[in-house]
Amino acid sequence: MSAAGDPAWAGDEAYWARVAADFDIALDPVPLENGNWGVMSRPVLQAYLELTRSVNRRNTAYARDEYPADLERVRSRVASALGVDAAELALTRNATESLQGLIAAYGGLRAGDEVLIADLDYPAMQSAMRWLHRERGVGVVEIALPEPATYDGLIEAYDKALTVHPKVKLMLLTHLGHRTGLVLPVREIVERARARGVDAIVDSAHAFGQLNVRIPDLGADFVGFNLHKWFGAPIGCGALYVARHRLPDMQAHMAESAPLKDIRQLVYSGTMNFAALLAVPAALDYHAAIGAGRVEARLRHLRRSWVEPLRGRPGLQMLTPPDERLAGGIAAFRLEGRRTDAENAAISRWLRQEFGIMTVHRTGAAGGACVRVSPAIFTTPEHIERLVQALRTLSSGVA
> In the chain, how many H helices and how many E strands?
13, 13
Q: Are both 301 and 258 inside the same structural domain?
A: no
Q: What is the pLDDT of residue 3?
A: 43
| CATH code of residue 382 | 3.90.1150.10
Strand partners, 91: 239
Same domain, 84 and 15: no
Q: Are residues 197 and 220 in the same domain?
A: yes
Both 302 and 263 in one domain: the answer is no
C-alpha–C-alpha distance, residues 254 and 305, integer Å:
48
Is 120's pLDDT higher than 70?
yes
For residue 41, is it within any domain?
A: no
Q: Distance between CA 105 and CA 147 in Å, rounded?
A: 33
The set of residues, in sequence order, having a beta carbon less than 8 Å from that of 114 and lying 6+ positions away, is 138, 139, 140, 141, 165, 167, 168, 169
Of 261, 285, 309, the residue at which a domain comes to its end is 285
What's the total number of domains in the chain?
2
**Domain coverage including residue 231:** 46-285
Task: Give yes or no for residue 84 having a pLDDT over 80.
Answer: yes
Which tens digits make up the pLDDT trace of 202-243? Answer: 999 999 999 999 999 999 999 999 999 999 999 999 999 999
Q: Using 50, 70 and 90 to split pLDDT, how confident is the model at 253?
A: confident
Say whether both 237 and 305 belong to one domain: no
DSSP state of 9: G
Gyration radius from the chain CA atoms: 21
The pLDDT of residue 399 is above 50: no
End-to-end CA distance of the chain, in Å? 25
pTM of the model: 0.95
Q: Is 374 helix (H, G, I), strand (E, B) or coil?
A: strand
